[in-house]
Amino acid sequence: MVPVTIVPIQILRACAAAMVVVHHGLHEAAALNLAGSGAEAVARLPWWAGVDVFFVISGFIIVQASGPRYDAPGGRRRFLVHRVARVVPLYWLVTALYLAVALAAPSSLGDAGAAARDPGYVAASFLFWPALRPDGTPQPLYGLGWTLNCEMVFYGLFALGLGHGRRVAVAWIVGFLGLLTAAGALVPLSGLPLAFWSNPVVLEFALGAGLGLARSEGLRLPSPARLVLAVAGIGLLFLQAGGADPEGFARPLGFGLPAAMLVAAAAFGSAHEKRDPAPVRWLAAIGDASYALYLVHPFVLRAAREGVLRLGLAPWLGTLGVLCLMLALSVGAALLVFRFVERPATRRLRVLLDPVPSPAGAPAKSV
């Protein structure tokens, strides 16, 4: 079964990736020492919650993609192969690029530059294994990869539940993640990997998985109800503007639940056959490239900051102008990387690892 693209989910993916870009863009713009109208208010919003939206979407999409094909013999292997083909090529490429920068100019990257000379730490970063930086932060060499460390363990656990239908797979993953996080809260788990994986933020995958099962079981909501969910989700996120970064169960409760409301609003609409207008198609295209946008934007942001500084454009643009420029350049770069790097690499690796053709000759689809 080839998963069906849900356009509103793709648009939400684009928004989530853009939120992360703005979050990191604010840090880059702050180095320019600018003051712009509205910049302080923008900086107070919880842009980093785009990661929470991503986690819920990931749980949702994995359940949507786990059709009967993965319940057949060899289904677990096929599922994992497809996940590896989807995640690994571009992540390894950006990590290798970051490693090259760290080795060439270690002082420019602080603790990451120093950690780049530790072969064990570098290997763990490429293998999605939690490891500590010299400052004690549980992050891989390419810092954004902490989310992929969470993603990969989720994929592995979900694969264990395959073979007996979606309901069993979802019950398994929800139950296991619930027990894992409860154990981590009640009993200090020995070793970094277990402590890292038991972070309650992983419950956001379970939220998404539950929504994916609900949609696959036929749940649909009328437009007014979906609008209420969307407004409530955005409102709950905005209510926490300016607050400290949440820890423990406060994150899935305070940010995972609003993210789940947004995903539900996007996912539970009725299918339609009419052609989407151009702006919708453009946003969906950015959603297709959201993984590339997430991974490549730090390089673009730093290059944009240096370009603005060297060209003397900062005073003219102001903080908000610089942010808009950074976001536009990041989106443009992501679309190019998706088209010419990510998508071809994913297809080639998938064919190499799983040469079985898709049903009815349908092309393999990235999810």
Per-residue confidence of the chain (367 residues) as pLDDT tens digits? 345 689 999 999 999 999 999 999 999 988 887 765 567 788 889 999 999 999 999 999 999 988 888 888 899 999 999 999 999 999 999 999 999 999 998 877 777 777 888 999 999 999 999 999 888 889 999 999 999 999 999 999 999 999 999 999 999 999 999 999 999 999 877 788 999 999 999 999 999 999 999 999 999 999 999 999 999 999 999 998 877 778 899 999 999 999 999 999 999 998 665 678 898 999 999 999 999 999 999 999 999 999 999 999 988 998 899 999 999 999 999 999 999 999 999 999 999 998 865 544 444 444 5
The secondary element (H helix, E strand) that includes residue 17 is: helix 7-30
Q: In terms of C-beta density within 10 A (0-12 exposed, 13-18 middle, 19 or more buried), how is residue 217 classed?
A: exposed
The predicted model scores a pTM of 0.93
Query: What tokens were used for 347?
Result: 């297809």
Backbone φ, ψ for residue 199 (5° rounding): -60, 130
Q: Are 130 and 150 in contact (CB under 8 A)?
A: no
State the pLDDT at residue 68.
84
State the pLDDT at residue 4.
66
Q: In terms of C-beta density within 10 A (0-12 exposed, 13-18 middle, 19 or more buried), how is residue 101 classed?
A: middle
Q: Are 259 and 49 in contact (CB under 8 A)?
A: yes
State the pLDDT at residue 37.
57
Closest CA to 90 of 306, 336, 283, 357: 336
Query: What tokens were used for 19?
Result: 């939120």
State the pLDDT at residue 365.
44
